[in-house]
Structure 1
Amino acid sequence: MTQLSLRAQLASALGRSAATLSRMTGRGDGSVIGGRVGLMLEPDLLRKLARDRKLALVSATNGKTTTTRLITSALLELGEVATNAFGANMPAGHVSALSTHKNAPYGVLEVDEKYLPEVLDTTGAGVVCLMNLSRDQMDRAAEIWLLAQKWRNALSGKPTHVIANCDDPLVTWGASTAAKVTWVAGGQRWKEDSWSCPECGGPLERKDADWACRECTFHRPEPQWVLDDDAVIDPRGQRWLIDIQLPGLANRSNAAMALAVADAFGLSVERAMPRLREVTSVAGRYTTVERDGRQARLLLSKNPAGWLEAFDVSDPNLPIILSVNAQGPDGRDTSWLWDVDYRILRGRPVFVTGERRLDLALRLEVADVPFALCASFSEALAMQPPGRVDVIANYTAFQQIRSEFGRAV
């Protein structure tokens, strides 16, 4: 790697010290404050830290933290990898990640959808992985069509190799201006945000996995990689069983995207797959925590598409605790709860908590889903008989629960 300037070295070192102090004092994991300190001292620090590294950027509404973790695990087969493992997905988090692993030749960075154009321009990353776009944080996020347009503009004219999910029309449109695209049929269970053509506004016609606009030439491209239930078919037609420990169809899709990215780095499926199996939990997601004989499995869900995937992973034979907040990182607007079909929970013991438990309680009442209202997560957990229980929580509610168990990872 190119030697950093003295100013950049000092900024990076002070940022790492700030991050360490943050962890020691229990204020956080240091993944944001360290980057902020570094950028204050050297505003161009991200560009300097990214220089001469082989970087992959990962962006999506859902699944980017998990996919980042899977790609990172795979690329460790090639050497040291710098990554923002705990989801600090804006430039400060990227600076902290690259500074912490200052000699790593590889980097895999999760990037907030809105920041992708800026981070791509700054880092000059050679690989970008784009998975899905759906509504999220509705009170302050732009319309997802506008996000796709920003991706489209950011990729135009750049030599970046894009790995993109061709089953999502918005992702396809956003990625289609890139110089090189590897299309992955990663699936799209949540289709409620992509019934209209992003190119002309006409209706999209869907038949099985295929889709096309009725009024223009925009259509699903032919994929090089195909997710086929519990396996992935590579560009050479070879079928590989996706042998991972993370549950659910969404994570098999994440794994398929990760394998395609690994291939772009020259890493074969045969070498990458065992590395993917090593990932058992991602920043607390899918972790099981225990208290007083009760084993609670933690599932994160932030928006309607995410709830659909959480229901897929959840065990229908178990009681379930639902927790919803509406703090800044969640988005203040909880109207998205009405887009989630909670009828799937009928017949299960359901317990509702979180700062916005009354919003969720009303939604369940309308869906004719019986529930018990609880003042806190601890109360909800104490109401369970000894044994297993599933927990689905949105972002800040999930972090609060993690904190009760020492931020279980």
Structure 2
Amino acid sequence: MAGNSDPLTPRAKLAVTAGKAVAAASRAAGRGSGSVIGGRVALKLDPDLLARLAQNLDCVLVSATNGKTTTTRLIAEALRAAGPVVSNALGANMPAGITSALAGGSEAKFGVIEVDEKYLAGVARDTDPKCIALLNLSRDQLDRAAETRMLAENWREGLAGSKAVIVANADDPLVVWAASSSPNVIWVAAGQMWKDDAWSCPSCGGVMQRPGDDWFCGECGFRRPTPSWALSGDHVLDPHGSAWPIHLQLPGRANKANAASSAAVAAVFGVPPQVALERMYQVQAVAGRYDVVQFEGRDLRLLLAKNPAGWLETFSLIDPPPTPVILSVNARGADGTDTSWLWDVDYTRLTGHPICVVGDRKLDLAVRLEVANQQFQVCENLDQAVQLCPPGRIEVIANYTAFQDLRRRVGN
């Protein structure tokens, strides 16, 4: 828990210093933020460093397939009402990146940590969090990530008996199954647009019934728990039935859902919903996502979508036709090299939008759009795509490394 005694041994201090030096050298060489390489070096020198850095913090871990970077930012803003926060706000969410982030927050009271789904159980062991937020689980990077039910099982086993308060999405059966092994769960009705990974019961394999917003297994009785927090339109309902308005600069239903979960987390740390939700208004963009940038005389809105559930949410917030849409897909290491997920995305939702396609795997995407009966043009690069669009707003949707490429090109 939070306190002021120095938890760092001489070895740990050396590890922190060495990690920062390596990170600075990496930045100077133009190789990104350096947080991951710096964290790796620090953990090599002191394998227990993450646990040491966390022991003076009240930590919250945030994990999900989609929305964890944004939710981490929203929670961090809310908790700043109660004290200084250290967070891996740029999304370096494996142990090395997390260690790097915490090493920079010696004065902090709270640690707000985004965690890659595969590493959640281990990071929870190291950081002894006060709270863990579980937002959603859906298919992602099939060549790298485990199948979703296996991930849910890892969570379930790793969190069994955890002392942390688990704040979990009651509308995602995989999340509910994973969280149900924990003794202390706060359920949030945050909604779930993407349902294609939860048609069979994670508990027994039976067929899930989904009447309206409810869900249950007709065979074993596994069912949606009763939530104590809920997203209701533009408001968050708290456990007392009070409705608090959501003030966000971030677009879309998914971010309102992220805000509802964030308000529930903030309450665990004693920050009231009204204060938490008002502070979330400060967040305008998250690591470039949702930014509107001027480029070649047009206004480009940059949107990140890494998997089918993410693309579905993103399609729901773009401006209506005939707003042009530029799509960019890569399949590098950080994206996952398998593009079969493109066939799980419903591209008919783009009907009526002029579409331009760029990125390393533009031809894979072109074949998918052809089958979906969409009108599109394949372009060599972003510049050519933008020039084909009329002046005004353009929605640009890209997966992970394609998004980084775009940000570099537009100087964001």
Q: Could you state the TM-score of these two structures normalised by the residue count of structure 2?
A: 0.97
Deviation of residue 17 (structure 1)? 2.1
Map 1:2-401 onto structure 2 (within 5 A). 2-3=5-6, 4-317=8-321, 318-401=323-406
**Cα deviation code 1:134-184 (max 9, x no counterpart):** 000011211110111111111112211100001000000000111200000
CA-CA distance at 1:130 after TM superposition? 0.1
- Aligned partner letter, 2:391: P
Give the Cα separation in 1 of the matches to 2:240 and 2:17. 46
Deviation track 1:172-218 (CA, whole Å, cap 9, x = no partner) reads: 00001112000000000000000111111101111111111000121
Residue 309 of structure 1 and its aligned partner are, at CA, apart by 0.6
What's the CA shift string for 1:285-327, capped at 9, x where partnerless?
Answer: 0001112211100000011000001101111231000000111
**Partner of 1:210: helix, strand, or coil?**
coil
Q: Compute the RMSD of aligned alpha carbons.
A: 1.0
**1:105 Cα offset (Å):** 1.2
State which drifts further: 23-32 or 116-125: 23-32
Flag structure 2 segments of 5+ consecutive residues without an equivalent: none
CA contact (8 A) 1:31 1:84 kept: no
Displacement, 1:385? 2.1
SS in 2 for 1:28: coil
Whole-Å separation in 1 of the counterparts to 2:314 and 2:281: 20
In structure 2, C-alpha distance between the alignment counterparts of 1:33 and 1:378, rounded to whole Å: 33
Separation in structure 1 between the aligned mates of residue 367 and residue 274 of structure 2, nearest angstrom: 49
Partners of 2:22 and 2:37 within 8 A in 1: yes
Q: Whole-Å Cα distance in 1 between the matches of residues 350 and 277 of structure 2? A: 34
Q: CA deviation at 1:103?
A: 2.1
What secondary structure is seen at the aligned counterpart in 2 of 1:108? strand
Corresponding residue SS for 1:327: coil
Is the 2:245–2:277 Cα contact (8 Å) retained in structure 1?
no
Distance 1:357 1:377 in 2: 12
| C-alpha distance in 2 between matches for 1:292 and 1:190 | 35
Conservation of the 8 A alpha-carbon contact between 2:75 and 2:263: yes
Runs of at least 5 residues in structure 1 that lack an aligned partner in the other structure:
none
CA distance in 2, matches of 1:2, 1:143: 43
Aligned length: 407
Secondary structure, in 3 states, of the residue corresponding to 2:299? strand
Q: Tell me how far 1:21 sits from its aligned partner.
A: 2.6
Q: State the shift of 1:70 in Å.
A: 0.3
Partner SS for 1:21 = helix
Checking the alignment, whether the CA contact within 8 Å between 2:296 and 2:386 is kept in structure 1 is: no
Q: Distance in 2 between matches of 1:154 and 1:160?
A: 12
User: Equivalents in 2 of 1:381, 1:43: separation in Å?
Assistant: 48
Contact kept in structure 2, 1:324 and 1:357, CA below 8 Å:
yes
- Cα displacement (A) at 1:284: 0.6
Secondary structure of residue in 1 paired with 2:215: strand
Is the Cα–Cα contact under 8 Å of residues 330 and 361 in structure 2 kept in the other structure? yes
Report the Cα distance in structure 1 between the residues aligned to 2:274 and 2:175, rounded to whole angstroms: 28
Q: Work out whether residues 300 and 393 of structure 1, in 8 Å CA contact, stay in contact via their aligned partners in 2.
A: yes
Amino acid at match of 2:240: R
Q: Distance in 2 between matches of 1:94 and 1:189?
A: 30
Shift in Å at residue 28 of structure 1?
A: 0.5
Offset at residue 22 of structure 1 (A): 2.3
Q: Equivalents in 2 of 1:161, 1:222: separation in Å?
A: 16
What letter matches 1:259 in structure 2?
Answer: A
**Fraction of identical pairs, as percent:** 56
Which residue of 387, 401, 409 maps to 1:404?
Answer: 409
Q: Give the whole-Å Cα distance in 1 for the aligned partners of 2:97 and 2:381.
A: 31
Tell me which moved more, 287-296 or 107-116.
287-296
Q: Matched residue of 1:32: which SS? A: helix
Letter of the 2:390 partner, please give it.
P
The answer to whether the Cα contact below 8 Å between 2:142 and 2:338 also exists between their aligned partners in 1 is: yes
Distance in 1, Cα, partners of 2:245 & 2:58: 28
Aligned mates of 2:213, 2:38 — CA distance in 1? 44
Letter paired with 2:61: L
CA contact (8 A) 1:2 1:51 kept: no
2-structure distance, mates of 1:145, 1:39: 30
How far 1:382 moved relative to its partner?
A: 2.3
For the residues of structure 1 that align with 2:260 and 2:168, how far apart are their CA atoms?
11
How many angstroms does 1:365 deviate by?
A: 0.5
Q: 2:170·2:176 contact (CA, 8 Å) conserved in 1?
A: yes
